[in-house]
Amino acid sequence: MTRLFLPPEKLAEKQIIISGNEARYLSLVLRVKPGESLIIFDGGGYRYTCKILTVHKKEVLIEKIKKEPYSAESSVSITLAQGLPKSDKMDLIVQKSTELGVRKIIPLITERSQVRHTEKIERWRKIALSASQQCGREKIPEIEEPVEFREFLNDIYVENKNAANVIPVKTGIQKGKELDSCFRRNDGKKGIIFFEEQKENNLKKVLTNLRDSKNITLLIGPEGGFSGKEVTAAVKNGFIEASLGPRILRTETAPITAISIIQYELGDIGG
């Protein structure tokens, strides 16, 4: 069945006019016909079963039949921070990561990145949209602008430092004083950096200690992987080193493999 995203404000009336790119996509690419059914996701946790009334390349008129709560999102929120690869490899990474349920993708510029500038962000966002519609997700992964590796780690540090959900721990400190040791973090966020020279700590072993984690950030290097300095910096910022086994995987294979394993072990694949 054909699936499409529309913002909630366009779904207020019983009959809805779909125009622009969405109309051209439905009429010229999918070649939908009057009388066919259409599923609309609003990105807010609802899906609408609709009936197609009329079809034109500029406008498609549909009628809402049923509205119901819906979620195909994993209980584990996965952020993929991916070293920018060459050619069109990122297209595949975005498409397959979206299908596997990733929540956010951050393109990284690292020491070994051969690509240090890109104009493909909008292209990747369109790929994420198309993949979300195809696989029946109700949320489209966020594709951020490329960021330098050092800046990415700095943002992680600031985010953790300013975490809203810190829980005060009573320790009998003097009145008027605040100590960092008087708080413990409770945001549940974990990070894993994949490093081919890490032979002992494989992903399966790492995940045994992350059973209760609901937010995981994955760091995947570009062609050539991460440098030793980058790995050291990431570990200092709380990331755990891990490997994906004895074989060296391509940069486009590694995230697909890692996300699949995490979804199987902690998420909604196979269970």
pLDDT tens sequence across 68-106: 998 888 999 999 999 999 999 999 999 999 999 999 999
Burial 195-206 (b: 16+ CB within 10 A, else e): bbebeeeebeeb
Q: What is the pTM of this model?
A: 0.79
Average pLDDT over residues 39-46: 88
Residues 89 and 253: beta-carbon distance below 8 Å: no
pLDDT tens sequence across 174-199: 333 332 322 233 345 689 999 988 77
Average pLDDT over residues 8-14: 91
All structural domains of the chain: 2-69 (2.40.240.20), 77-265 (3.40.1280.10)
Residue 171 has a pLDDT of: 33
Closest CA to 194 of 91, 102, 80: 80
Closest CA to 219 of 209, 206, 208: 206
Residue 177 has a pLDDT of: 37
Mean pLDDT of the chain: 86
The maximal CA–CA distance of the chain, rounded, in angstroms, is 73
Residue 7 has a pLDDT of: 87
